[in-house]
Amino acid sequence: DQQVKQNSPSLSVQEGRISILNCDYTNSMFDYFLWYKKYPAEGPTFLISISSIKDKNEDGRFTVFLNKSAKHLSLHIVPSQPGDSAVYFCAASAQGGSEKLVFGKGMKLTVNP
Amino acid sequence: GAVVSQHPSRVICKSGTSVKIECRSLDFQATTMFWYRQFPKQSLMLMATSNEGSKATYEQGVEKDKFLINHASLTLSTLTVTSAHPEDSSFYICSANILGTSGGAETQYFGPGTRLLVL
């Protein structure tokens, strides 16, 4: 049973445009959500997070939006850069992030110059 | 930044043999280390959580006698896959929380992973 779903396996965008990565979850106990970025042969690195008490969190070019009623979150990257090309994982946790991380399958983003 | 290393990065072994994977926090001490497994085109799945000096806590469905975890120090945890079989072929990745932090999800630092292939 996939509790965190990233339904699109890949996305390709042009440099300078917006990248939108989507994530859905099913467990109502999740109250903390994170995005990780992974390059080949490296471990995932933390990118940005959001608590369920917020509906938006912004950090530079990265913004995460949370729609609790729809159990949906999205990561926006604006403007996209070739260096953003990587696999992005959505993850969720309960108890404010202190419970175990539950990951989606990941989505490969390619930003073309 | 906090660095977590894993060794080996890739291992091929024969069915029935045991394989040990090391996870080290290089520039920090870790309160807790986590072991994940990722099958092709699947999610990272938590296998177990280990704290230094105590027994690991395994997730449901993970055989503790097959996946032995030893967390001998604040900088080293090992995962031993005993009597490995082809179905154990997977990508194994560890992470660690920095000692003194709240232990929340944001303070988990991941290693680069170990690719295991059992023939």
- Interface A-B, measured as beta-carbon pairs within 8 A, has a size of 58
- CA-angle at B85, arms to B12 and B113, nearest 5°: 50
Cβ burial, residue A61 (10 Å; 0-12/13-18/19+): middle
Say if A93 is an interface residue toward chain B (CB within 8 Å): yes
pLDDT tens digits, one per residue of B62-84:
999 999 999 888 899 999 999 99
pLDDT tens digits, one per residue of A6-59:
999 999 999 999 999 999 999 999 999 999 999 988 889 999 999 999 999 999
Measured distance CA(A4)–CA(A25) in Å, rounded: 4
Measured distance CA(B106)–CA(A91) in Å, rounded: 11
DSSP code of residue A43: -
- Chain centroid to Cα A97, Å, comes to 15
Question: Taking CB atoms and an 8 Å limit, are A98 and B103 in contact across chains?
Answer: yes
pLDDT tens digits, one per residue of B43-61:
899 999 998 888 899 999 9
Measured distance CA(A48)–CA(A53) in Å, rounded: 15
Say if A100 is an interface residue toward chain B (CB within 8 Å): yes
